[in-house]
């Protein structure tokens, strides 16, 4: 599809949907959904915190202009239609009429401009980078928002999901210190559910927002998020029906299997397409022997990813083949494959002159175990055992969350494991790990391994501003080939978190953001 066709298709999609959203007949009103939030979010305002639990819960309270389907194509959110100028620089959004905040005040294009340009650029790291590309944002009338970009940015339409660009009320935040505003406690958004009560350490209680602009929605009366810190207790809550929905890592991987067969429960791994959590073994490219491409390739050969999926993740993952997840756009599977082979690995190590010493060891490497639970500890032990076959001795170093963040952010590590979201487009979620301009000391989730390749930089840059889909695919295919050859990090698995829910509830997973969705359309049969 070229640029013009793409624009036309977008317009058509925008025009068709308003008819779609009034479809409501046959769905029952009422009912309570009990679910889990874990760990407890620090705050519910998604503009100020983007931790996964904050987004899951805050997604019911705060909305953005667009939603994204499982295919990651945009769908109407607060905006009913949108238009892109042929030069790819002007984006015009038309809002639905009659949208109100939870305090009853109307939501207009002024709130959108204020949220995107004033609040999010101050408080939201990802949105800050996205909206830095905007030259001007205007609100010509209450239902129209116009963004003018400094230069074309292909995934700009992908920056308006409720986790990346939540809309907050201007009348509450204007002229205040955003993060310290006392109204943060009330969490005033436009979503189908509003905050009734938050008993810290116990539960968060959401109730219907009666003035919701989508006719008849929400169907449910209430959603109760329970805070249950212990994994065994969470599984028990799902088993005995105390809760009817779990998401992300609420249920430990080793427990997931037994819920697949429980008759009253539905199981799906859909709804994570937008985030597409991608996992890898991170190697500090600045330090020997990790600074040699052949060593990193040898590491790829040493990880039996099938076994890792089966033994450590209990089958809740897919094998990753490169930097882009097979679940998102522009994935190219036709890249060099590193099959599990100790011989190939030892050959590479011999070739680079890393010979075994007197004790049979070729190298001793410190591995910083990410403090995110038992499964990461066991993955570390798996790597340790795998590498020992080629004479590489991995020393596992334990740390806590803050210590891990500081060490990795400041490049003070040799190897560790990392998990990153792909955010629907390589320009948003993939490039950041590999481009030289994102080598920033002290910043976590940047190019912390220190990989730098001018050609890769150029390809990512061109692909970000190219408006033609075919051209973008070509550029991303090329970049995938180079990265897979260079192995800046050793990709292991595409994690497949489950969503498990009571069959009585319908429409739980309807978009590519799954459990972060508003749940306005969820009903109980």
Partner 1 sequence: MTGTRSAARIALLIVTWVARLVAVILVIATFNFVLVRAAPGDPAMVMAGQSGGADPKILDDLRKEYGLDKPYLVQLASHLGRVLTLDLGYSYRQRRPVLDLILERLPATLLLTLTAFCLALLIGTTLGALAGLAAGSIVDTLFTVLSLLLYATPVFWLGLMLVLVFSVTLGWLPPFGYETINAKMTSIERVLDIAKHMIMPVMSLAAIYLAIYARLMRSSIIEVSHQDFIKTARAKGLAPARIVVGHMLRNALVPVVTVAGMQAGALVGGAVVIETVFAWPGLGRLTFEAVLQRDYPVLLGIFLILSIIVIALNLVTDLIYRLIDPRMTTEAA
Question: Which residues here bind partner 1, judged by CB under 8 A?
Answer: 32, 34, 39-40, 42-43, 48-51, 122-126, 128-129, 179-180, 184-185, 199-203, 205, 222, 224, 226-230, 232-233, 236-237, 240, 242, 400-403, 405-407, 409, 420-421, 432, 440, 442-446
Least distance in Å: CB of 279 to partner 1?
Answer: 14
H/E stretch holding 76 reads strand 74-76
Least distance in Å: CB of 332 to partner 1?
Answer: 24
Least distance in Å: CB of 131 to partner 1?
Answer: 12
Least distance in Å: CB of 374 to partner 1?
Answer: 14
Tell me whether residue 133 or residue 203 sits nearer to partner 1 (CB atom).
Answer: 203
Least distance in Å: CB of 57 to partner 1?
Answer: 14
Tell me whether residue 4 or residue 440 sits nearer to partner 1 (CB atom).
Answer: 440
d(CA 64, CA 74): 12
DSSP character for 107?
Answer: P
Euclidean distance between the first and the last CA atom of the chain, given in angstroms as a whole number: 41
Least distance in Å: CB of 202 to partner 1?
Answer: 4
Phi-psi region of 468 (alpha: psi -120 to 50; beta: other; left: phi over 0): beta
Tell me whether residue 179 or residue 366 sits nearer to partner 1 (CB atom).
Answer: 179
| Contact yes or no for 124/109 (Cβ under 8 A) | no
**What secondary structure, in 3-state letters, does 195-242 show?**
EEEEECCCEEEEEECCCCCCCCCCCCCEEEEECCCCHHHHHHHHHCCC
Tell me whether residue 205 or residue 347 sits nearer to partner 1 (CB atom).
Answer: 205
Report, in this order, helix, strand and coil percent for the chain, each rounded to 5.
35, 20, 45
CB atoms under 10 Å from CB of 334, counted, come to 9
Tell me whether residue 234 or residue 301 sits nearer to partner 1 (CB atom).
Answer: 234
Tell me whether residue 230 or residue 351 sits nearer to partner 1 (CB atom).
Answer: 230
Residues 6+ apart with CB under 8 A from 54: 41, 42, 43, 44, 46
User: Which residues are bridge partners to 198 per DSSP?
Assistant: 204
Least distance in Å: CB of 249 to partner 1?
Answer: 15
d(CA 245, CA 238): 7
Tell me whether residue 258 or residue 440 sits nearer to partner 1 (CB atom).
Answer: 440
């Amino acid at each position: 599809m070229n640029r013009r066709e793409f624009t036309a298709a977008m317009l058509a999609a925008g025009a068709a949907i308003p008819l779609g959203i009034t479809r409501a007949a046959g769905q029952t009103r009422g009912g309570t959904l009990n679910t889990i939030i874990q760990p407890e979010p620090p705050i519910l305002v998604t503009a100020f915190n983007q931790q996964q639990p904050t987004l899951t819960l805050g997604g019911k309270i705060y909305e953005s202009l667009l939603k994204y389907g499982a295919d990651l194509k945009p769908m109407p959110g607060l905006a009913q239609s949108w238009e892109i100028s042929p030069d790819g620089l002007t984006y015009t959004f038309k809002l639905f009429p009659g949208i109100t905040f939870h305090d009853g005040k109307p939501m207009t294009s002024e709130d959108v401009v204020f949220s995107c340009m004033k609040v999010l650029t101050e408080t939201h790291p990802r949105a800050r980078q996205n909206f830095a590309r905007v030259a001007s944002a205007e609100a010509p009338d209450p239902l129209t928002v116009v963004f003018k970009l400094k230069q074309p940015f292909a995934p700009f339409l992908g920056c308006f999901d409720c986790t990346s660009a939540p809309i907050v009320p201007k009348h509450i935040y204007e002229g205040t210190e955003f993060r310290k505003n006392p109204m943060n406690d009330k969490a005033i958004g436009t979503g189908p559910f509003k905050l009734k009560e938050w008993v810290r350490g116990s539960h968060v209680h959401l109730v219907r927002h009666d003035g919701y602009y989508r006719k008849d929605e929400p169907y449910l009366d209430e959603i109760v998020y329970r805070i249950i810190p212990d994994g065994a207790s969470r599984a028990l809550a799902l088993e005995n029906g105390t809760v009817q929905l779990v998401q992300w890592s609420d249920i430990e991987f080793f427990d997931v299997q037994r819920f697949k067969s429980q008759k009253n429960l539905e199981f799906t791994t859909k709804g994570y397409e937008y985030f597409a959590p991608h996992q890898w073994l991170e190697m500090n490219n600045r330090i020997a022997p990790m600074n040699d491409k052949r060593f990193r390739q040898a590491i790829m050969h040493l990880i039996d990813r099938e076994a890792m999926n089966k033994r450590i993740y209990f089958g809740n993952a897919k094998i990753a083949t490169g930097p882009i997840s097979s679940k998102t756009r522009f994935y190219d599977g036709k890249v060099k494959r590193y099959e599990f082979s100790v011989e190939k690995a030892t050959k590479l190590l011999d070739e680079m002159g890393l010979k075994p010493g007197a004790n049979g060891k070729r190298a001793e490497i410190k591995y910083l175990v990410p403090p995110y639970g038992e499964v990461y500890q066991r993955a570390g032990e798996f790597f340790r055992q795998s590498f020992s076959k080629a004479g590489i001795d991995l020393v596992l170093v334990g740390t806590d969350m803050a210590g891990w963040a500081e060490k990795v952010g400041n490049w003070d590590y040799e190897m560790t494991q990392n998990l990153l979201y792909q955010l629907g487009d390589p320009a948003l979620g993939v490039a950041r790990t590999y481009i030289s301009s994102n080598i920033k000391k002290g910043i976590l989730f940047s190019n912390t391994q220190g990989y730098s390749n001018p050609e890769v930089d150029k390809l990512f840059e061109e692909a970000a501003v190219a408006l033609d889909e075919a051209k973008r695919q070509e550029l991303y295919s090329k970049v995938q080939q180079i990265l897979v050859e260079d192995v800046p990090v050793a990709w292991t698995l595409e994690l497949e978190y489950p969503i498990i829910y009571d069959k009585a509830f319908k429409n739980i997973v309807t978009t590519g953001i799954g459990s972060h969705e508003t749940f306005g359309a969820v009903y109980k049969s």
